[in-house]
């Protein structure tokens, strides 16, 4: 494999847990932006397609994706790989067992992920990637590492939130072996330090999860008076159980408002019961999961976006909720919390308000302040859009990621003597991969 000239497409195998995925539109944006920066992208999904996706930008990528062939065929494929490359496959499986034997379920799932990747081995070889990138630090990164050893190409991965706050899938080994560790916040860099010697073997690069700004215009339309909006799955990390007491406090103070919560999840019945117990049944609506067009209109209608994110007792948290970035791009003022990477997006008192997590009184005060002050809301809206344009533009962020990938490929090429690859690769297939059925 030769160094990729900047003028030539860079072949990137992008490994994801599930493609397409309704909850990972930010990954689709990054994929499109990488293609715009001359990446020839192939997508390996570790789970069968299970979600109906109608968004045009996602549908455009389906021809680039491959999915598992089925359990039996995938297991046989891994066995075949092991017979042809016993040292590399056996050594990797041995390392996984040595590192993860205290996590038997994660270990079994990791082996299953390797099987699914092995099932697409011929397709992967035909594509002949120059770098393998994983969208998450857990199973996708494990597969990327495995394939990089077989193909003798560098791999990279992006760490985001639960994949490092809750999970530890051989993180120390991955940080030591990857050519390019990436994460989405500076807060995450500090968190990753626990798995790295001092100084770390690699510089962790921060590449924000970002927006396609032309598709997220600033809204100048009149907003509904007193409308509060919250968007996200009904999960403990979102802090909806803190939101409801804060809204009850607003009601006690006589502050006019109505609140809409867009999202679905395991906590819905519990939260609806809490809402009713607090006497908020006619003022707070849980409307379930909605398509992106509905969410975009809800952001254009609302007065304030409220996301009272928390850190769970297990240590789980958001990185930076994408809905906060989307709201700020749309000119919707935001109120959130000093959690994880959120302060890297929301400059408190400049482009939004931040309060301490798990504090309904402080949250109610911040929301009431914004509801009562149109000039303050307008100032936050303008500064919020400027912040997103500066630091959360997916074209700029993907450009940085593509540049880092090219550097990693060049560095790998300088370290490897000629002919040291596992096997001679066939000619690469350039352009969009054909959309034929899985081989």
Q: Are residues 26 and 141 in the same domain?
A: yes
Query: Into how many domains does the chain fold?
Result: 2
What is the pTM assigned to this prediction? 0.89
Q: Let me know if residue 430 belongs to a domain.
A: no
Query: What six digits make up the tokens of 291?
Result: 């398509």
In terms of residue numbers, what domain contains 120? 10-210+394-415
Q: Let me know if residue 5 belongs to a domain.
A: no
Q: Are residues 230 and 366 in the same domain?
A: yes
Query: Mean of the per-residue pLDDT values for the chain?
Result: 92
Three-state DSSP class for residue 258: strand
In contact, 346 and 354? CB cutoff 8 Å? yes
Task: Give exposure, 308-318, as e/b (b: 16+ Cβ within 10 Å).
Answer: bbbbeeeebbb
Q: Let me know if residue 403 belongs to a domain.
A: yes
Three-state DSSP class for residue 402: helix
pLDDT surpasses 80 at 230: yes
Tokens 């149109």, residue located? 374
Q: Are residues 148 and 224 in the same domain?
A: no
Q: Considering the chain, what percentage of its residues have pLDDT values greater than 70?
A: 91
Q: pLDDT band for 419, please (50, 70, 90 cuts).
A: very low
| The predicted structure's pLDDT at residue 291 | 83
pLDDT surpasses 80 at 198: no
CATH code for the domain in which residue 121 is found: 3.40.50.2000
| The predicted structure's pLDDT at residue 175 | 95
Backbone angles phi, psi at 206, to 5 degrees: -95, 115
Q: Let me know if residue 423 belongs to a domain.
A: no
Q: Let me know if residue 244 belongs to a domain.
A: yes
**Tens digits of residue pLDDT in 239-265:** 999 999 999 999 999 999 999 999 999
How far is it, in rounded angstroms, from Cα 66 to Cα 110?
18
Q: Are residues 84 and 181 in the same domain?
A: yes
* CA dist 258 → 102, 247, 248, 252, 316 (Å): 48, 9, 11, 14, 29
| The predicted structure's pLDDT at residue 221 | 83
pLDDT: which is higher, 6 or 73: 73
**Tens digits of residue pLDDT in 266-296:** 999 999 999 999 999 999 999 999 888 899 9
**Tens digits of residue pLDDT in 117-143:** 999 999 999 999 999 999 999 999 999
How far is it, in rounded angstroms, from Cα 364 to Cα 374?
17
Q: Are residues 350 and 398 in the same domain?
A: no
Three-state DSSP class for residue 21: coil
| The predicted structure's pLDDT at residue 435 | 33
Question: Pick from 356, 404, 346, 33: which is nearest to 183 by CA?
Answer: 404
- DSSP one-letter string for 56-124: HHHHTTGGGEE----HHHHHHHHHHHHHHSHHHHHHHHHHHHHHHTT-HHHHHHHHHHHHHHHTTHHHH
Q: Are residues 223 and 366 in the same domain?
A: yes
Q: Are residues 200 and 241 in the same domain?
A: no
| The predicted structure's pLDDT at residue 36 | 97
Q: Are residues 230 and 166 in the same domain?
A: no
Q: Are residues 224 and 121 in the same domain?
A: no
Which residues contact residue 85 at a Cβ distance below 8 angstroms, ignoring those fewer than 6 apart? 150, 422
Q: Let me know if residue 439 belongs to a domain.
A: no
How far is it, in rounded angstroms, from Cα 389 to Cα 396?
9
**Tens digits of residue pLDDT in 17-67:** 999 998 888 999 999 999 999 999 999 999 999 887 667 789 999 999 999
In contact, 304 and 367? CB cutoff 8 Å? yes
Q: Let me know if residue 3 belongs to a domain.
A: no
Q: Are residues 196 and 231 in the same domain?
A: no
pLDDT surpasses 70 at 232: yes
Q: Are residues 143 and 244 in the same domain?
A: no
* CA dist 61 → 28, 37, 373, 399, 433 (Å): 8, 16, 44, 19, 10
How far is it, in rounded angstroms, from Cα 335 to Cα 376?
12
How far is it, in rounded angstroms, from Cα 232 to Cα 261?
8
Q: Considering the chain, what percentage of its residues have pLDDT values greater than 90?
A: 85
| The predicted structure's pLDDT at residue 434 | 34
DSSP state of 355: E
Q: Are residues 231 and 292 in the same domain?
A: yes
Average pLDDT over residues 381-395: 98
Average pLDDT over residues 167-174: 96
pLDDT: which is higher, 23 or 359: 359
**Tens digits of residue pLDDT in 297-319:** 999 999 999 999 999 999 999 99
Q: Let me know if residue 437 belongs to a domain.
A: no
Q: pLDDT band for 324, please (50, 70, 90 cuts).
A: very high
């Amino acid at each position: 494999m030769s160094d990729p000239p900047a003028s030539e497409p860079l072949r990137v195998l992008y490994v994801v847990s599930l493609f397409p995925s309704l909850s990972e539109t930010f990954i689709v944006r990054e994929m499109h932006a990488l293609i715009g920066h001359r990446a020839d992208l192939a997508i390996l999904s570790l789970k069968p397609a299970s979600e109906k996706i109608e968004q045009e930008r996602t549908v455009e990528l389906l021809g680039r994706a491959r999915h598992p062939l089925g359990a039996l065929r995938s297991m046989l494929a891994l066995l075949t790989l092991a017979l042809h490359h016993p040292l590399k496959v056996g050594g990797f499986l041995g390392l996984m067992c040595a590192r993860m034997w205290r996590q038997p379920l994660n270990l079994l799932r990791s082996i299953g992920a390797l099987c699914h990747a092995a099932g697409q081995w011929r397709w992967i070889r035909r594509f002949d990637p120059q770098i393998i990138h994983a969208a998450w630090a857990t199973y996708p990164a494990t597969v990327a590492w495995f394939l990089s050893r077989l193909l003798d190409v560098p791999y990279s991965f992006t760490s985001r939130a639960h994949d490092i706050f809750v999970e530890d899938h051989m993180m120390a080994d991955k940080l030591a072996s990857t050519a390019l560790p990436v994460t989405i916040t500076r807060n995450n860099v500090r968190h990753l330090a626990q798995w790295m010697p001092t100084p770390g073997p690699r510089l962790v690069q921060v590449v924000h999860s970002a927006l396609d700004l032309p598709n997220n215009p600033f809204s100048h339309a009149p907003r509904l008076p007193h409308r509060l909006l919250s968007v996200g799955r009904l999960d403990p990390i979102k802090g909806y159980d803190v939101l409801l007491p804060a809204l009850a406090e607003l009601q006690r103070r006589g502050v006019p408002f109505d609140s809409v919560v867009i999202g679905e999840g395991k906590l819905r019945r519990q939260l609806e019961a809490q809402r009713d117990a607090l006497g908020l049944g006619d003022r707070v609506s849980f409307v379930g999961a909605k398509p992106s067009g509905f969410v975009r209109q809800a952001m254009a209608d609302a007065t304030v976006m409220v996301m009272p994110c928390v850190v769970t007792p297990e240590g789980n948290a958001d990185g930076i909720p994408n809905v906060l970035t989307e709201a700020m791009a749309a000119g919707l003022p935001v109120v959130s919390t000093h959690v994880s990477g959120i302060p890297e997006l929301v400059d408190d008192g400049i482009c939004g308000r931040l309060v301490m997590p798990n504090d309904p009184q402080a949250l109610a005060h911040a929301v009431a302040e914004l509801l009562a002050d149109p000039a303050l809301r307008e100032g936050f809206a303008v500064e919020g859009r400027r912040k997103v344009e500066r630091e959360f533009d997916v074209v700029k962020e993907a450009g940085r990621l593509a540049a880092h990938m090219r550097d990693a490929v060049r560095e790998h090429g300088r370290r490897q003597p000629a002919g040291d690859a596992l096997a001679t690769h066939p000619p690469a297939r350039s352009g969009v991969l054909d959309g034929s059925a899985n081989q």
